[in-house]
Structure 1
């Protein structure tokens, strides 16, 4: 499957409605623990599994989508030192 045309991308974004973004506090540092391709047949499940594994070990990991690289990222947010 190829990339979306400009018109298709605009139509897709318009259909989603307003996008809310969380503002990151300047005192927070994000660390990427793992990256999984979104084109994986299992979708985001490997990323969710990895995040769950990290959370069981006490690491507050979560999954986010990186649209630029079309991948799911397992990240940790920690206060900057």
Structure 2
């Protein structure tokens, strides 16, 4: 099982949609972070998550 950490979040109602989250995730990946964008329906947000090492 892997541990997930929320690195950042952006509101889904942003005028540019998921682009701000995708851009932030790309910047984190350039820094060596394993960053992925997912949609959290409960909070209506795009979350940037990092999947850590097995626990």
Task: Give the TM-score taking structure 1 as reference length.
Answer: 0.65
Partner of 2:9: 35
Gaps of 5+ in 1: 1-26
Give the structure with the higher percent helix.
1
User: Highest CA radius of gyration, 1 or 2?
Assistant: 1
Higher relative contact order, chain-length normalized (CA < 8 Å, sep 6+): 2
Partner of 1:10: none
Partner of 2:23: 49
Gaps of 5+ in 2: none
1 CA distance for matches of 2:31 and 2:53? 19
CA-atom RMSD in angstroms: 0.9
Aligned pairs, how many? 55
Give the structure with the higher percent strand.
2
- What is the Cα deviation at residue 45 of structure 1? 0.4
Structure 2 residue matching 1:49: 3-state secondary structure = helix
Q: 1:66 and 2:40 equivalent?
A: yes
